[in-house]
Amino acid sequence: MNRKHNPALMMMVLALAITAPGCGVVNTLRAKNSLNDGVREFNKGKYKDAEDKFQEALKLSPGLTNAQLFYARALNAQFAQSLTEDLGAKTIAAYDDIIAKNQDKPEAVDQALAFKSHLYDELTRVNPDKAAQYKKLQRDTLEKRAQLASATPKTKADVYYTLGVGYWKECYDLNAGYTTRKQPIPPDVVEKMKPLISKSHEYLQKAIAAQPDYANAWFYEKLVYLEESKVEPSRFKELKAKIEEMQEKFLALQKQQAAAEAGTASQ
């Protein structure tokens, strides 16, 4: 048997080693290089260049979660600069892709839902004609984030607080023009306010249940009771007592938190 090495045969073996199973390893390494290049461009504020690098990384390794996240972040940064509806939709699609491909990675899903809900909130101002549609999508997305099996009490509290404050603001905006001018709130506006007040109470109480020392949730409960006193003046005495109770709770928690921070700082 001829034991001399056959150069042609060796080249074929080498080619197979690169293009067969090892190809995945090589592509992963190349993808990580593109990812690192993209991060550098992102940190320089060159978001379109970063997007291209992250997209290149994803072509080489579609399952690379960090590349998926950074690709969406690069789009998000461009959306923040241009505030166009098309780019907003493209960014949301990127976050949807992360959610679909990373069901076994709860942190990635949570992060994608958080950014996605913020995008919907921004889009309410980008296209006021579709504000109600985008507001509903934002609220649905926040609900999904709170319902994740991995959601911590703090995450739930933050989500429910955001929802509660959103309903309060919608209610406040409906009647602010009338109350500022000291005019009676029209009956049709009062009827629109009532379900918003109910929803705001519901979510702020959920926030408090998840995190009882959430001072700002107690503060906004006070503000919701103020709105309630506008639609039910006959209950003013009862509601005034609730307003004072919420304010006292808020101040007590603020004092408690300040004392805790002072204690930590002195250690």
Average pLDDT along the chain: 90
Has residue 127 been placed in a domain? yes
Report whether 163 contacts 135 (CB < 8 A): no
pLDDT score, position 8? 43
Same structural domain, 112 and 190: no
- pLDDT category, 267, cuts 50, 70, 90? low
What are the tens digits of pLDDT across the range 106-120?
999 999 999 999 999
Same structural domain, 184 and 215: yes
pLDDT score, position 28? 83
- The range of the structural domain enclosing residue 233 comes to 152-260
- What is the number of alpha carbons within 13 Å of residue 193 lying toward its C-beta? 22
**Of 170 and 28, which is predicted with more confidence?**
170
Is the Cα dihedral 187, 217, 211, 115 positive or negative? Answer: positive
CA angle 45, 57, 120 (to 5 degrees): 55
Mean pLDDT (whole number) for 120-126: 97
Same structural domain, 111 and 198: no
What are the tens digits of pLDDT across the range 61-80?
999 999 999 999 999 999 99
How many distinct structural domains can be found in the chain?
Answer: 2
pLDDT score, position 262? 83
Same structural domain, 216 and 244: yes
CATH no. for residue 177? 1.25.40
- pLDDT category, 264, cuts 50, 70, 90? confident
Mean pLDDT (whole number) for 100-111: 96
**What are the distances in angstroms from CA 82 to CA 65, 161, 176, 180?**
26, 29, 31, 34
Has residue 1 been placed in a domain? no
Burial classification of residue 245, based on how many CB atoms lie within 10 Å of its CB (0-12 exposed, 13-18 middle, 19 or more buried): middle
pLDDT score, position 251? 98
Which of these three, 134, 163, 187, is where a domain ends? 134
Has residue 143 been placed in a domain? no
* Amino acid letter, residue 236: F
Q: Dihedrals φ, ψ of 108, to 5°?
A: -65, -40
